[in-house]
Structure 1
Amino acid sequence: MATVILVRHGRTTANASGTLAGRLPGVRLDDVGTEQARRTGERLAVVPLAGIVSSPLERCKQTAKALLDARDRLAEPTLRISSEKGISECDYGEWQGRPLRELAKEPLWKVVQSQPSAAAFPGGESMATMQARSVAAVRRHDAAIEAEHGPHAVWVAVSHGDIIKSVLADALGMHLDLFQRINVDPASVSIIRYTGTRPYVLASNTHGGDLSWLKPPPAKKTRSRKGTGQGTGTRATTTASDDAPVGGGAGPSVHP
């Protein structure tokens, strides 16, 4: 039951000008986006992280670096940022670099809005392919982090709006044709916990609020057994159920 925090990159110069950046090089955070990323880094600094994985595009790497900088200021161990092509921006092909106001006049625009599962960008990829590879990448990293760090591990994936929307849609059991109902703002935080039975969407498109409830629970001490020569030790608790609490449950416990 590892937990992934999905962070969209901060606002970019292309976002501010209404341009579809896609995978064009040189698209960086603007001043607003830099401040957004800084605030998100401070918000996440209270959560012990097992890893940070980023899209290889510059705006995501800048955002991931801001998350690291916030942790360094609090004297926490520095994490290494891993690059993952599977959560890179959608390949919009011939659409990238064009103003959104022009693209809205294209016949394909209505397909992207109402039936994205049928949308394929000229010279690029389809939205169905985008979702398949991004979900596969997130689930692969999640399984690897849980195997290495345990079921209470928390990690961050820094990616793009449509990528995060498609991953959330998959976790919610929504058809891709409904994913435009999900909103993911720059530098927002969404949270998914994958389990053996189903994914749980714990948060979506959040901009503020305490995240200390994501801290792993303290290790439990084990009592020594008579006649074994074994002393008191510690073990991580793994008793959390994969089942949904009927009635809603009591919510997360905060571990100061």
Structure 2
Amino acid sequence: MTTLILLRHGRSSANVAGVLAGRTPGVELDEKGREQADKVVERLTGVPIAEIVCSPMLRCEQTVAPLAKDRGLTPVTEDDLAEVDYGSWTGGALKNLAKEPLWKVVQAHPSAAVFPEGEGLAGMQARAVAAIRRHDKRIAAEHGPQALWVACSHGDVIKAVLADALASHLDNFQRIMVDTCSISVVHYTETRPFVNRVNDVGGDLSGLIPAKPKRRRKAPSAQKARSSDAVVGGDTGA
């Protein structure tokens, strides 16, 4: 059961300006965003990270840089975790875009939303989820089924990945909150994912540290069955 730590990039200059940055090159973290990125290192102290996968956008690269340096890891760039291609909406002020007819579609029926000269949100979800599952399978093969890894991306992309993990239609993804530099956690198994955390901005993450293996070994078939089954009656929280 691999564990995915979804990390949204820290606060950027575009976030503060109320501008839809999209794929505009050169959008950097502001001072607050850099502080948030440094704090991620502290929050993940003791949590073993096998790999870091990152959107090619500068603000994501800057967000994972402190963690990568601390762990001696080289982030893997994944184009399919890039920000939504907002097309002609890129660089627009959110207060102005909210007046466009498409805005209501984005809010109420996002699966039908296609940005002018850009991509649709359904297409974004498809490429992002495929990338996450592709890397998850690779990391499990290379580092073992208990591996933990980080994927740094953008608000709408992470919300779309979480909606898929929750088996929720994309039209519900606007109900999911993903703040800057928040952490969401998904455990992937052979049959289905389990969502452990959503939009965690300051909680204790020591619970992500894998427990030491017990001496008594179970049959491989039993291990697989338990890893894909929910705990009946609820988890103990241990």
Shorter-chain TM band: over 0.9
TM-score by length of 2: 0.94
**Alignment of structure 1 residues 39-188 onto 2, 5 Å:** 39-69=39-69, 72=70, 77-188=71-182
CA contact (8 A) 1:46 1:211 kept: no
Higher helix share: 2
Return the offset for 1:7.
0.3
Find 1:198's aligned residue among 168, 192, 195: 192
Paired AA for residue 72 in structure 2:
T
- Percent identity over the alignment is 59
CA contact (8 A) 2:6 2:185 kept: yes
- After TM superposition, which residue ranges in structure 1, 4 or more long, deviate above 2 angstroms? 216-223, 238-241
Give per-residue Cα distances to partners, 1:161-202, cap 9 Å, x unaligned. Answer: 000000000000110011000010000000001112211000
Give structure 1 stretches of 5+ with no counterpart. 224-237
CA contact (8 A) 1:20 1:97 kept: yes
Q: For 1:218 and 1:91, how far apart are their aligned partners in 2?
A: 43
Larger radius of gyration: 1
Paired AA for residue 235 in structure 2:
G
Give per-residue Cα distances to partners, 1:10-64, cap 9 Å, x unaligned. Answer: 0000000000000001100000111111112210132101100000000000001
1:15 aligns with 2:15: yes
Q: For 1:66 and 1:107, how far apart are their aligned partners in 2?
A: 41
Return the offset for 1:221.
4.9
SS in structure 2 at match of 1:241:
helix
CA contact (8 A) 1:3 1:191 kept: yes
Paired AA for residue 180 in structure 2:
P
TM-score by length of 1: 0.87
1:3 aligns with 2:3: yes
Tell me the matched-pair count: 233
Q: Does 54-63 or 240-249 show the bigger shift?
A: 240-249
